[in-house]
Structure 1
Amino acid sequence: MAQAAINFRMDQELKSNMEAVCKDMGMTMTTAFTIFAKKVCRERRIPFEVSADPFYSDENMARLKASIAQMEATGGTVHEVNYDD
């Protein structure tokens, strides 16, 4: 079977983390991507759920901006928020 090279870019930290995980599983990134490609071809779909994080929805971002504006209008700052609650 003829081999083909595929080149693409990704964040260096993401690449390093993936290489480490693949190594822990006893495979290379090439093997992991080949497994992914075979599963995509066999199932004709992305083999996992792909969805947007609802936190970043336009509605939620507008609500957060309004809350920050209200807090700042009363003399508070976003830096005073207690994130532990």
Structure 2
Amino acid sequence: MSSTITIRVEENVKKEANNIFKEVGMDMSTAINIYLKQVIRSKGIPFPISADIPNAVTLNAIKEAEKGEMASFSSIDELMEDLND
């Protein structure tokens, strides 16, 4: 017996996923069924979930903070001036 699930996804995500599923010979419904069966089999999400990898600017800021090289400001005006440069 089948059951219907209604989900909302971003249009571009749906389109890109459908293109990939077509390349491997399946439709969205089959792919979602495979995913759900894997959730049941693994008793959890069947892949690691982690935070996004920081971009280069963020990584640089982290390194500066770890080295104690962070800028300091004596006023909000000074901070805003630096941010606007």
Specify if TM > 0.5.
yes
Q: Which runs of 5+ in 1 are unaligned?
A: 77-85
In structure 1, what is the equivalent of residue 35 of structure 2? 36
How many residue pairs were aligned? 68
Q: Which runs of 5+ in 2 are unaligned?
A: 63-69, 72-77
Q: Following TM superposition, by how much is the alpha carbon of 1:54 offset from its aligned partner in structure 2, in angstroms?
A: 4.7
In structure 2, what is the equivalent of residue 82 of structure 1? none
Q: Segments of 4+ in structure 1 off by > 2 A? A: 72-76
In structure 1, what is the equivalent of residue 47 of structure 2? 48
> Which residue type is aligned with residue 45 of structure 1?
G
1:1-85 superposed matches below 5 A: 2-55=1-54, 63=61, 72-73=81-82, 76=85
CA–CA distance in structure 2, aligned partners of residues 75 and 8 of structure 1: 42
> How large is the RMSD of aligned CA atoms in angstroms?
3.1
Q: Following TM superposition, by how much is the alpha carbon of 1:75 offset from its aligned partner in structure 2, in angstroms?
A: 6.8
Q: Residues 23-80 of structure 1: CA distance to partner in whole angstroms, max 9, x if unpaired? A: 0000001111100011111110111011111528xxx5xx58x87x86x52873xxxx
CA–CA distance in structure 2, aligned partners of residues 39 and 74 of structure 1: 47
TM-score (norm 1): 0.65
